[in-house]
Amino acid sequence: MNSRLSKKLLELFEQRARETHLEDFKPGPSKEEILEFTQAHGIDLREDHLQFLMKYGGGLIETYYGTNSFEDFKDYYLETDEKQIELDNKETTPPGSTYFSYIPCGDGVAINNEKGHIGYFYGGDGLDNVNYGNIDSVLFHYYIECYEYFKIFKSVDSNLLSKETIENYKTKYQSYKIEEIYISGLDFYYVDGSLISLSTHTHTKYSGGILDLI
């Protein structure tokens, strides 16, 4: 159920986003164009990453630092070694991963070629950093962050709660958790027709809008 629900929510998010801001969905590159580049540069590319670039490689996700466009993807791999050294290798993906894109909060991330999770290049052990469980989680976070821009929900109510209250909520509604969506520090639940997000101290309830279509 949760897997189907996460897919349904993403479909409705995108549907509303296209209705309100179709201009943001720029045409992506062809499969042939992507594979020609990645094969020429010896870049490993997962099938889900390939599909992401084909569909959203026109540059849907934009931050102050960059985008998720295929042009930015190519630019990353065409940078000189000197440029990477200048950046203290913070822009160098660890072995076993491929550059993914900029995430909604701004930083560049890599995708683990074996497991499909997505995380920062640096800090911890690099390859196994997990900020997002999968590509769907990145898209989910993007739409949630842009809910006002895309007019996704009718109302959003956010409250600061104690850590104990948050933990009690997680225990009570464990079976309502959307397990397929993993975003570090943020859990999502679907309860009585509303979408709930929980962080360490914040309870946010999203109601109406596209949720009325489920």
C-alpha to C-alpha distance for 61 and 143, rounded to whole angstroms: 9
C-alpha to C-alpha distance for 70 and 172, rounded to whole angstroms: 43
Taking only the tens place, the pLDDT of each residue in 155-173 is: 999 999 999 999 999 999 9
pTM: 0.90
**Together in a domain, 10 and 96:** yes
Strand partners, 204: 158, 197
pLDDT at 38 over 50: yes
Mean pLDDT of 121-149: 88
What total number of domains does the chain contain? 2
Do 142 and 61 touch, CB atoms closer than 8 A? yes
Q: Which residues of 98-120 are buried (b: 16+ CB within 10 A; e: fewer)?
A: bbbbbbbeebbbbbbbeebbbbb
Mean pLDDT of 132-152: 96
pLDDT at 33 over 70: yes
**Together in a domain, 197 and 96:** no
Q: Nearest-CA neighbor of 126 among 83, 90, 81?
A: 90
pLDDT at res. 105: 72
Residue bearing the bigger pLDDT, 127 or 186: 186
Looking up residue 32, the CATH number of its domain turns out to be 3.40.1580
**Together in a domain, 54 and 11:** yes
**Together in a domain, 84 and 137:** yes
Q: What is the DSSP string of 88-151?
A: TTTTPPPTTEEEEEE-TTS-EEEEETTT--EEESSSTTGGG--SBSSHHHHHHHHHHHTHHHHT
Write out the residue range of the structural domain in which residue 175 sits: 153-213
**Together in a domain, 120 and 78:** yes
pLDDT at res. 65: 75
